Structure 1
Amino acid sequence: MSAQSRQVRKRRVFHIPGYDPMPPRRYRELYRTEGAAQADISGYEIGVKADRSDDTFRWTVGARIDGRSVLAQIDVLVWADIVRDSMAQSIPATYWQLVQTAWTYIGTGTLRRLMWMRKGPVIAALYPVMMLLGQLILALVVGSLVGGWAQGLIMGALALVGVTEGAFFDVVAWMAWAIGWLLLIGIVVVLLRWFKAQDNKLFAHYLMHDYAYSAKKRGETPSELQARMTAFTAIIAEALAMDGDEVLIVGHSSGVHLAVSIIADLIRGGHLRDDGPKLAFLSLGQVVPMVSFLPRARRLRSDLAFLSTRDDITWVDVSAPGDGCCFALCDPVAVTGVAPEGKRWPLVISAAFTQSLSSARWKELRWRFFRLHFQYLCAFDQPKDYDYFQITAGPILLADRYAGRKPSGSRIHVPVSKYTSLLP
């Protein structure tokens, strides 16, 4: 089939975000601003218009690239409210989550195996543990010093006036002890609350809630999220039943493993048509092993194995070693240890941040770890073969764009996970 006959004129895009409490309009505005920036850099036209949907957050995109016009409709899976609810924890509850999550990853041996691959995401996982423990230790030290100082001051005053024993001494000594403890507790509470108020800069509580949400059922999908995924699957099924050239599912960060299960359900449900839109999957900055390596992630492991052999989809996995928050260039099927005979997907490639961003831009972003984790959805000032906006709003199918593309030579594709059991 010629490239001309396979031109995309109409595309449906379904974006599945990761664990993010921000409202979905953030993704529309990011698309609007970064798309305009990429269009200026790469010399094409792109425009974004707000749209309405009762079940998703939606916008439409009109683009003219290489002289060809494309209309795309983008729908976002809304689960920011679930994220916010899971983050509505008291400070003591967050520390209890820390204990439970650490026990899950350490006790199952998962953390040790994750460290065999990329250190970046493991450091990112340990960061909230160390930061929260550091905050607690600092608060206890400051509280102890102030409480001890106050207690010593009171006892020193008694000694100064010559009171060293008797009933009055005992009462004042008890009061000094109580004041010391009250100051200790009060300062710990105040400091821990202050630290939490700074979490928009420190991200310790946010990351702790993120990892705790994935680990609380040891790899099983929480029921409230599964309900949203089921409803979103039905919407994608409707798109596959309509006219169009491509249905593209984009998973970002922890949204990747949600997308894997959604796509597997679509295929098992018989929603792909030979004469219908092509189904494509773009996974970005994936953290699949954080879930697939857990003991109860049997459904996810089964879905990974199932998708990896399909000839009716295209699955391209994009990451970058410069993104310390993802398992860069780790084949999620292979490292999970469920690669079957005849495995085809995913095609694992690098966004090559150090090459596709100018040296000045890379220097500006290099230590902004969370911003870099979203770079896949942003403009590159020296783009190579990865351009998010041409993929989502351009005239070429994902399958054609990367036809013949070899996987990254530095990818990790050996079995690592201890747990490889599948659903019956």
Structure 2
Amino acid sequence: MSSNTNQPQVRRRRVFYIPGYDPIHPRRYRELYRTESRAQADVSGYEIAISPKSGEGPYGWHVRSNQDGADVDTDIEVLVWSDIVRESMSNSIPGTYLQLLRTAWIYIGSGVLWQLMRLRKGPVIAALYPVGMLMVQLAVALGTAMVAKALIWPFLGWVSWGPAFLLAYALLRWFRKIDNRLFAYYLMHDYAYSARLNGALPAELKARLAGFTAQIRQALMSDVDEVLVVGHSSGAHLGVSVLADLIRSGGLTEAGPTFSFLTLGQVMPMVSFLPDAEELRTDLQFLSEHPDVTWIDVSAPGDGCAFALCDPVGVTGVATDQKRWPLVLSAAFTQTLSPERWQELRWRFFRLHFQYLCAFDRPGDYDYFRITAGPLTLGQRFYGRAPSKSRLDQPVAKNRSVRL
């Protein structure tokens, strides 16, 4: 098992995709891959097609591509935890406001919010957005209720409080109903889930990650040229934990396929900075030193939902002299998207957070479909690349404890 760049070209590949905090069925990722790969192939001049997956195992699809004169077969599988996400989002409206208070206290009381503000402002604003939006919704509901009470008080007296309360609750229910446009509840549940144990992994998620580890270990024993794990958004730090556990348990062998790790639009500091995220910090440090895996981290300053170009190992303060990874690179949206396309997308913050999985009309070195379906391993594709000059890698976190 090696990440050596002198490997022969890839003919067969297994890809495991770990989504972020997403309650939607994984078929959305298949459809996204189908439409966007076709668009990128038209721009870049290669052939690519997907077909249904055969056999048992996680939800996925098969990709057949011809790039640079080579035929490549790829099986892509989604490591699903959307059921856990849905369960965590089942709180009532009062429960969500309780989550808001608890989560705000965790980040503010621990000082982590001020540390995060020393990094990129975009994701901090994104983290504060659901707090502000939910408070605005509460203020509108209560204000409307007070006006209604004042209007009907002359007729009903103290009884008017009842209809006023029902009106306030109806407004809050309406706000929640249209959250597919506002994303306030969604983001609040996301941040609350990561922070509820001060950065420690919830038991149900830890058990699911153990299953992911077993599935990837099985793939590493198969007859393929590369096993590539892709972690997007919150899935990036889950991938770190999965890979660290797999390597510690002896999941890599010299005779096995090349092992690669790609993180996209990561938000790791939101978790790794928290007081009880000791396990994640330990995994970050361990994985950053390991010679038998290639770890590339891609983000873009135009993605306001990610800690763009922040080396998660460096800013967390767990880098050692043996640190090798990750190689931090920019997807450079303002350069890889045409001015027209950039203007179309620049204010669609959540869509931009998924741009890493989509087509670019002015593609540069980063091309998701060349990485996942092309003839080069991840290490070969970025061999010799220097990290982005704009990366942040100076320690910022105050909580830096790791397990010895």
Residue 393 of structure 2, aligned match among 410, 413, 416: 413
Which structure 1 residue ranges, 4+ long, deviate > 3 Å from structure 2? 1-5, 52-55
The one-letter code matched in structure 2 to 1:421 is S
SS state of the match for residue 61, structure 2? strand
- State the partner residue of 2:158: 177
- State the partner residue of 1:138: 140
Note closer, same or farther for the CA distance 1:138–1:70 as it changes in structure 2 (3 Å cut).
same
Please state how far the C-alpha of 1:5 moved relative to its aligned partner. Answer: 5.6
Please state how far the C-alpha of 1:52 moved relative to its aligned partner. Answer: 4.6
The alignment yields a C-alpha RMSD, in angstroms, of: 1.3
Please state how far the C-alpha of 1:367 moved relative to its aligned partner. Answer: 0.2
- State the partner residue of 1:293: 273
Q: 2: distance between equivalents of 1:415 and 1:2?
A: 29
Question: Which stretch shifts more, 389-398 or 50-59?
Answer: 50-59
Q: 2: distance between equivalents of 1:53 and 1:102?
A: 45
SS state of the match for residue 289, structure 2? coil
Which has the greater radius of gyration? 1
Q: 2: distance between equivalents of 1:3 and 1:420?
A: 33
- State the partner residue of 1:71: 73
Q: 1: distance between equivalents of 2:150 and 2:49?
A: 64
The one-letter code matched in structure 1 to 2:17 is H
Q: 1: distance between equivalents of 2:57 and 2:10?
A: 26
Residue 120 of structure 2, aligned match among 97, 118, 124: 118
Residue 195 of structure 1, aligned match among 175, 197, 202: 175
Q: 2: distance between equivalents of 1:343 and 1:376?
A: 26
- State the partner residue of 2:351: 371
Q: 2: distance between equivalents of 1:149 and 1:116?
A: 48
Please state how far the C-alpha of 1:90 moved relative to its aligned partner. Answer: 0.6
Correspondence list, 1:310-389, <5 A: 310-389=290-369
Please state how far the C-alpha of 1:399 moved relative to its aligned partner. Answer: 0.5
Q: Which runs of 5+ in 1 are unaligned?
A: 155-174
The one-letter code matched in structure 2 to 1:245 is D
- State the partner residue of 1:159: none
Aligned pair count?
A: 402
Q: 1: distance between equivalents of 2:36 and 2:388?
A: 26
Q: 2: distance between equivalents of 1:28 and 1:199?
A: 24
Q: 1: distance between equivalents of 2:7 and 2:248?
A: 29
Q: 2: distance between equivalents of 1:142 and 1:278?
A: 61
Please state how far the C-alpha of 1:197 moved relative to its aligned partner. Answer: 0.5
Q: Deviations over 1:214-270 (max 9, x none)?
A: 001111111111111111110100111122111100000000000001000111111
Note closer, same or farther for the CA distance 1:5–1:231 as it changes in structure 2 (3 Å cut).
closer
- State the partner residue of 1:147: 149
Note closer, same or farther for the CA distance 1:135–1:53 as it changes in structure 2 (3 Å cut).
farther
Correspondence list, 1:8-407, <5 A: 8-52=10-54, 54-152=56-154, 154=155, 175-179=156-160, 181-407=161-387
The one-letter code matched in structure 2 to 1:335 is V
Note closer, same or farther for the CA distance 1:87–1:54 as it changes in structure 2 (3 Å cut).
farther
Q: 2: distance between equivalents of 1:54 and 1:339?
A: 39
SS state of the match for residue 308, structure 1? helix
Please state how far the C-alpha of 1:184 moved relative to its aligned partner. Answer: 2.0
Please state how far the C-alpha of 1:53 moved relative to its aligned partner. Answer: 5.3
8 Å contact 2:295–2:326 — kept in the other structure? yes
Q: 1: distance between equivalents of 2:332 and 2:190?
A: 26
SS state of the match for residue 216, structure 2? helix
Please state how far the C-alpha of 1:55 moved relative to its aligned partner. Answer: 3.9
Q: 1: distance between equivalents of 2:144 and 2:287?
A: 54
Please state how far the C-alpha of 1:183 moved relative to its aligned partner. Answer: 2.5
SS state of the match for residue 36, structure 1? helix
Task: Give TM-score, length-normalised by structure 1.
Answer: 0.93
Please state how far the C-alpha of 1:6 moved relative to its aligned partner. Answer: 1.5
8 Å contact 2:5–2:383 — kept in the other structure? no
8 Å contact 2:261–2:296 — kept in the other structure? yes
Task: Give TM-score, length-normalised by structure 2.
Answer: 0.98
SS state of the match for residue 75, structure 2? strand
Note closer, same or farther for the CA distance 1:53–1:374 as it changes in structure 2 (3 Å cut).
farther
Q: 2: distance between equivalents of 1:405 and 1:3?
A: 12
Note closer, same or farther for the CA distance 1:3–1:260 as it changes in structure 2 (3 Å cut).
closer
8 Å contact 2:200–2:279 — kept in the other structure? yes
The one-letter code matched in structure 1 to 2:267 is V
Q: Deviations over 1:299-334 (max 9, x none)?
A: 100000001111111000000000000000000000
Note closer, same or farther for the CA distance 1:4–1:100 as it changes in structure 2 (3 Å cut).
closer
Please state how far the C-alpha of 1:40 moved relative to its aligned partner. Answer: 0.6
SS state of the match for residue 394, structure 2? coil
8 Å contact 2:241–2:283 — kept in the other structure? yes
Please state how far the C-alpha of 1:97 moved relative to its aligned partner. Answer: 0.3
8 Å contact 2:12–2:224 — kept in the other structure? yes
Q: Deviations over 1:360-419 (max 9, x none)?
A: 000000000000000000000000000000000000011011011010001000001010
Q: Deviations over 1:268-320 (max 9, x none)?
A: 11111112101100000000000000011111000000011111110000000
The one-letter code matched in structure 2 to 1:360 is E
The one-letter code matched in structure 2 to 1:177 is W
